[in-house]
Structure 1
């Protein structure tokens, strides 16, 4: 399924806001008007687009970005599916992403071609990995993921949720970790409030389904598409996941 674009009529206020936003260049001083009032609103919109996954067997909703947990919660609640936070940390060398780690495995995902091409010493990579594991453990302690067992059958489905995608490096690393490190064999569905059109084309090839509310040519910053400018604190993320745990009990 192609990423969906807004179907608002040309004269609607939301359509006008969308058009003005799309016309704003990343470095422009012009005011950029948000499209979504909140991550929750984007989550409700996305849930309507994937309602065929409601109560789908062997299916888990994963927030792949801590600040998108509120969005993912709305999807899980509407579809009556379990929710968890999937923690990863990507790391860079001289501005290039060279790998990523997850708390679910001691094995890192490494961009071997880039590492060899740039002749990056092993001790440098090891130092980057060690630093990211410290950050990852802090996130894990403060956000309190539920550590749900991921479905492992070929008939399983993971719905990966994020509020928006620019370059898509973190999302690409998440997919790579799931397939190449954790050995996940099921279906991967990527959903986002907004995906840049170039990134959308890439993920249509790398996932089984990629769905977005908006897919403009120019994204700018993801945060600029949301009226709520603040990000969730780790304590708030933990509270949302606790609510999701109670929700799963009621569903079962």
Structure 2
């Protein structure tokens, strides 16, 4: 069941203008019905929680994975903000994430401590990066992000959107790339339909705010929270990006 809603201090974006919903669920969700009907519905719900940012200057909505683009598009429409797709791809070695890349920079984000601890050869890392770069460039051609310039003043805000967070690895890599690789200096707000309560606490330390419609103790699979389990095709993502281009012209 839904627990009591929490509010933040006055005069802060973390205030009564939007409320973070928390819930406590049993370990097993085998017989729990999906909470959300679709990603689009979830985007509208999230937009209501972050209406503080509506029409804010130097604010951009970014979908941090292609399958969450429909959710991010609803947020951008509701808040009248520009939308783009922020492509980040992680790569692994023996099941461990050792780095990530973005289409916005040639410089990779490397987990140096893991690489040194596992004594992974530089040649191996370079091969992993090269393969991931090819896959990312293919995805970029198929999804056609707008490549909007990132606002980079201290007053800027990036709203990073995803449908759900389990381990949070992809979101953490996106945040790290923005700060360490791209030199972003503004605020970052992470929003998701579903986010584990422990993950939310972690991201509250790394961002301006971490907001979700639901924050259960156990997430399981993100897809299990959605009645509509259909995954967006790259063609559908490209169509949403085309609509986002028209939206940006009218803002």
Specify the alignment match of 2:83 in structure 1. 83
| TM-score normalised per structure 2 | 0.91
Match of 2:6 in 1: none
Distance in 1, Cα, partners of 2:38 & 2:84: 20
2:21 pairs with 1:5: yes
Which residue does the alignment assign to 2:28? 25
Q: Cα RMSD (Å) of the superposition?
A: 1.5
Matched, 1:245 2:245: yes
SS across alignment from 1:23: coil
Deviation for aligned residue 1:247? 1.1
- 1:176 paired with 2:176, answer yes
Q: CA deviation at 1:5?
A: 1.6
Q: What corresponds to 1:41 in structure 2?
A: 41
The count of aligned residue pairs is 235
Give, in whole Å, the separation in 2 of the partners of 1:32 and 1:132: 37
TM (normalized to structure 1)? Answer: 0.90
| Structure 1 residue runs of 4 or more that deviate by more than 6 Å after TM superposition | none
Q: Which residue of 2 aligns with 1:140?
A: 140
**SS at structure 1 position matched to 2:250:** helix
Report deviation, 1:24: 5.6
Cα displacement (A) at 1:31: 3.5
What residue in structure 2 maps to residue 230 of structure 1?
230
For 2:131, the equivalent position in structure 1 comes to 131
**Cα pair 1:71 1:162 within 8 Å, conserved:** yes
Residue deviations 1:171-223, cap 9 Å, x none? Answer: 00000000000000000000000100111111000101111000000000001
Q: How does 1:98-247 map to 2 (within 5 A)?
A: 98-247=98-247
Once residues 152 and 196 of structure 1 are traced to their aligned partners in structure 2, the CA distance between those partners, rounded to angstroms, is 29
In 1: Cα distance, 2:26 partner to 2:113 partner: 37
Give the CA deviation at 1:33.
1.2
SS of residue in 1 equivalent to 2:136 = helix
